[in-house]
Structure 1
């Protein structure tokens, strides 16, 4: 077993154990490999280890990797801040966009998704605990945004994404309650199935609170090199 296989299996074991503690089926939690700053070769190794879903934060870096790895079957997630002038590339090149926090962004993604493509999956990013340094809409804005965005064509509004402050595990429970609260407002409630929360340091608490997708980088790839 190589390093990528070992790292991935270790994380999958963590997910399984976290699910067992709260009597959840491990199949209800998806592993998203956060691969920002890591070269395409590392993603190829992780793909060979069985990983299919990768999350990127920086658009230009992501586009280069998508080009380099186009021979592989990969589900690409954009999990960084969504800039209004970059939505065309996101709409055309990605399968998921997690950082939608305004109606105008969702409208642009909907309008720029190619008619030949399947609808783009999106999550609303919520600043769940009011951090000044974090992007995201406010919790009290979510209900109206769900009603508006779920009516747009060419996209599927799938749920919420949150990044609480470190050790603020209570925010996961708040996010789960909000997730349940606004489901009835979705025009296609069967699509409302994703709660993207939890990273390497807090995946157990996130899973205990109801996360359906954990975003794991360091535990899979090791420390990031921001100098490259």
Structure 2
């Protein structure tokens, strides 16, 4: 077994939230409420990771951003990964996601930490912070291709529900990697995760409990197809 303290890993990127969202949150309580979840939700997963790694059993590790952290949900365990945990009874479930994470954060920090743990199952959903911010869209295809080439065979990868050009490019890379490298697709172009009425948190960006439940259903379908 590996203790979380041995990983040299934090569920925080070390970057503060963006200047715009920080400024707006001072004047908009609905946004501020969601932003105030960032630190306690990261601390929750770090505590839980330590407890899970101290146990025995097959290991599932999640990689990603604030959506795996559960930011926007009523509690961290109601993010998409938290809601997936009950579908894996007997498994140790470790969450290496980070608020604000981009593809490079998964490549440079989360994936190496995960591989040191030698997981039996790896889940990955990342890209929103690259795709939704124009300044990060440049080169996202190259970064995503590098990530897909390093993910182990059998990794369950969520794609992007958006239909704009950068999302379509990333989804094409994911579709190719699923065929070529034996990855498993969690199909978020599904109607359950393309229509968000009533599924968003008060900041109108992150999912709420219901929105995360829809993402969890898609990942659950992928796990069942893969035999888990």
Given the two structures, how large is their TM-score scaled by the length of structure 2? Answer: 0.38
TM norm structure 1: 0.38
Bigger proportion of residues as helix: 2
